Amino acid sequence: MNQQDPLSYIAHQLHTKSSVKQKTYKNLCHTFRQLERQTKAVTEQINLKIKDLREDVTVKMTRENPQEFHLKVAGDLLVFVMHTNIITLDKAHGYNKSKYVEEDGHRRYLGQINVYNFMADSFRYNRLNDPGYLLSRLFINHENHFLVEGERQLDFMYEEVSSKPVEPSDLSIFIQLLITQAIESDLITPAFPDIRAISVREKLEKTQQLGAGSKIGFQMQGTPSAKS
């Protein structure tokens, strides 16, 4: 801080850092609305292609609130969450070491959208202990450029920050990759010895959870990844 003129320092910070964060947040909100619209469009396109399948194959989007919407794809539920705080990534992150950020430090401030994969039945039967898995994180900066973190195709297709502002077509591809990854990650049931014995309390409290699986292709904390 400039000890000689703290008021000027505060004014400078408000004019630069705070205004950048406000611009980033506005971009984040706009991108989230676009993401919601593109998800609806992709959903409609998928439903046209599966209209001859049985009615119990459901692909449906629902809006929970301005910061969250869900996409049910058969037995999977993708949960899209927009965080209202502007963040920065760890200093050691490759993005912060990139020439793009070095040229303008304000580019390190990011809005964040997380996408989680749950089993749809976890919500349907209120299985509160069922895990969800982070599929991907999408970041937006004050220039409306985007950065994506994820696995498989999401990882190598978006290795660096975008060279241009985000467009609806980018979000459409992002959504299709998310759906593909969710569908390709199957369930694996717990090992037989792990669920051989249960108590009466467990039976009464957790009937819907007994035998519930975990998604292959995701790494739980402290557990080696089952991904091939």
Per-residue confidence (pLDDT) for residue 57, from 0 to 100: 80
Whether 213 is covered by a domain: the verdict is: no
Per-residue confidence (pLDDT) for residue 45, from 0 to 100: 94
H or E element at residue 100: helix 99-103
The residues, ordered by sequence, that sit 6+ positions from 162 with a Cβ below 8 Å of its Cβ are 145, 146, 147, 170
Whether 99 is covered by a domain: the verdict is: yes
Whether 200 is covered by a domain: the verdict is: no
Q: Per the structure block, which two tokens stand in for 212?
A: 């519930």
pLDDT band at residue 206, thresholds of 50, 70 and 90? low
pTM for this predicted structure? 0.80
In degrees and rounded to multiples of 5, residue 149 shows phi and psi of -115, 140
Whether 111 is covered by a domain: the verdict is: yes
Domain tally, the chain: 1
pLDDT digits (tens, 9 = 90+) for 26-61: 999 999 999 999 999 999 999 998 887 766 788 999
Percent of the chain with pLDDT over 90: 52
Whether 177 is covered by a domain: the verdict is: yes
Whether 214 is covered by a domain: the verdict is: no
Whether 194 is covered by a domain: the verdict is: no
Q: How far is residue 161 from each of residues 177, 191, 196, measured CA to CA in Å? A: 17, 41, 48
Full residue range of the structural domain in which residue 68 is found: 10-187
Whether 226 is covered by a domain: the verdict is: no
